[in-house]
């Protein structure tokens, strides 16, 4: 893509544990069907922390990170319009894409993972990957992508009013799933190893019932288990521990991804006529659902934004933010 003479800052993870600001030429033109977007805000995701820690299995260093993006269209008739960027670049031709599931495209490329991301001045993305964020602030718009992952998982689960739901993993993705499960009318319980995360879930988002893995949950009215268990832990042991907590006729939704194999009792699975559903990324409808919930005030965006950091200050802060992320919901980065 054509580059101009102007230089702009890019936040680069050079190698595990090393983050730098690099001045790189700013894009001046986008290919046909693509759009230039000037970045307004970027959310730091668990993926970004894993990249910093050297724990991401599909990444080549150095990498400009950042895929939770808001920005303004840089040129054309929509110039200046605030948009949310869908960071999943799909091929448009594989079987999944042809069936309306670009979120699990066979040749998907995710900004900030498979290709450079949005912690920069300007980025080019397919025009089909930008959605109007009218009525939101740039900070709110940068929160949409991670919440859309939770919204997609809840849509996949088909839960409804009165269902008992357990979300394991009370990080940002788990909180997103819990918020949309509650909006669907379910009674939502949260489980996490971290007391700090559970405290945040109660204080900031009003979730009244939380558990740790050591708790004996299946007692009293919960003795028959949960209608849906959402896993957002990224831990194989936690996923397997969730299967016995599933009620008959229930559904396990795997939001997180693990490299390890997971096992379960086939007899118990069939006895329950259980379902295991994988949930990957999000669709345009999920992004729109999140923005509608934000506009209506159903999502407490002020409680989500734990801290706002300027891009220039991020190299000095990244290690500390990574170490203390259990005390944070979402850190946002601005130019």
67-125 per-position pLDDT tens digit: 999 999 999 999 999 999 999 999 999 999 999 999 999 999 999 999 999 999 999 99
Peptide bond into 62 cis (omega under 30): yes
β-partners of residue 82 are 72
CA pair distance 244, 165, nearest whole angstrom: 14
Give the tens place of pLDDT for each residue, 145-161: 999 999 999 999 999 99
pLDDT of residue 208: 95
pLDDT of residue 56: 81
Cβ(105)–Cβ(126) below 8 Å? no
pLDDT of residue 3: 72
CATH class of 3-142+300-334: alpha beta
pLDDT of residue 1: 66
pLDDT of residue 55: 83
- Where exactly are the structural domains of the chain? 3-142+300-334, 149-278
In the DSSP assignment, the letter for residue 220 is G
Nearest to 83 by CA among 26, 145, 128, 138: 138
Determine the 3-state secondary structure of 155 from DSSP.
Answer: helix
CA pair distance 38, 33, nearest whole angstrom: 17
Low-confidence stretches of the chain (pLDDT < 50) are none
CATH class of 149-278: alpha beta
pLDDT of residue 275: 97
Task: Provide the b/e sequence for 49-72 (b: ≥16 CB within 10 Å).
Answer: bbbbeeebeebeeebbbbbbbbbb
The radius of gyration computed from the CA coordinates of the chain, to the nearest angstrom, equals 20
């Amino acid at each position: 893509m054509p580059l101009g003479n102007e230089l702009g800052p890019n936040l680069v993870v050079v190698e595990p544990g090393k983050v730098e600001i690099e001045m790189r030429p700013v894009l001046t033109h986008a290919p046909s069907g693509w759009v230039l977007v000037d970045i307004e805000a970027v959310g730091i995701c668990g993926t970004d922390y894993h990249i910093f820690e050297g724990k991401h299995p599909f990444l080549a260093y150095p990498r400009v990170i950042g895929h939770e993006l808001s920005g303004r269209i840089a040129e054309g008739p929509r110039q200046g319009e605030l948009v949310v960027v869908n960071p999943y670049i799909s091929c448009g031709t594989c079987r999944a894409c042809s069936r309306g599931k670009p979120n699990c495209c066979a040749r998907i490329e995710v900004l900030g993972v498979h290709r450079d991301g949005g912690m920069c001045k300007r980025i080019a993305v397919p025009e089909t990957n930008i959605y109007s964020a009218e009525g939101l602030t740039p900070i709110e718009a940068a929160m949409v992508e991670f919440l859309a992952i939770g919204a997609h998982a809840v849509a996949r689960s088909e839960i409804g009013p009165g269902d008992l739901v357990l979300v394991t993993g009370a990080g940002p993705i788990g909180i997103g799933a819990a918020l949309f499960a509650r909006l669907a009318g379910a009674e939502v319980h949260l489980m996490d190893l971290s007391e700090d995360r559970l405290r945040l879930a109660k204080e900031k988002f009003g979730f009244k019932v939380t558990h740790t893995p050591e708790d004996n949950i299946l007692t009293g009215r919960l003795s028959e288990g949960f209608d849906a268990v959402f896993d957002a832990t990224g831990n194989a042991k936690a996923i397997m521990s969730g299967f016995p907590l599933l009620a008959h006729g229930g559904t396990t939704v795997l939001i997180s991804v693990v490299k390890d194999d997971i096992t379960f009792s086939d007899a118990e699975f069939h006895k329950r006529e259980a379902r295991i559903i994988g949930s990957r990324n999000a669709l345009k409808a999920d992004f729109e659902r999140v923005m509608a919930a934000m506009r209506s005030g159903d999502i407490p965006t002020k409680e989500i934004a734990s801290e706002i950091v300027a891009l220039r200050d991020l190299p000095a802060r990244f290690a500390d933010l990574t170490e203390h992320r259990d005390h944070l919901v979402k850190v946002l980065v601005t130019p």
